[in-house]
Amino acid sequence: MLVLGRLIIWTAQTSGPMKRVWGLNTFLTELGDCDFCLGFWVYLALAAIMKVNLLEPDYIPYGSEIVTAVAASFCVHLARIGWTMQYGVIDLTED
């Protein structure tokens, strides 16, 4: 679920048609630029569709999906930051 969600987030942030959607207003622009924010909504949908529940064996209607979405988006967000810090390209020519 984590890898699938990250692929959906990356596709939504980089595809041409979605770039037009992100440019419609400032709220959508901020949502498209924020991995964690967009990730929450992606992982909320995936948790509901795939029935993933981090609170098992307990189930709290809607709460279980929200907790799963927050945890998944935070973990993937941290992994992306770590990957970028380790393997990202730094442009030293900018002032």
Q: What is the pLDDT of residues 6-36, one digit of tens each?
A: 999 999 999 888 989 999 999 999 999 998 9
pLDDT of residue 41: 96
Please identify which residue in the block is written with the tokens 């924010």: 37
Q: What is the pLDDT of residues 48-94, one digit of tens each?
A: 999 988 888 988 889 999 999 999 999 999 999 898 888 887 766 76
For residues 21 and 13, give the distance between their C-alpha atoms in angstroms, rounded to a whole number. 10
pTM of the model: 0.84
Cβ partners under 8 Å of residue 88, min gap 6: none
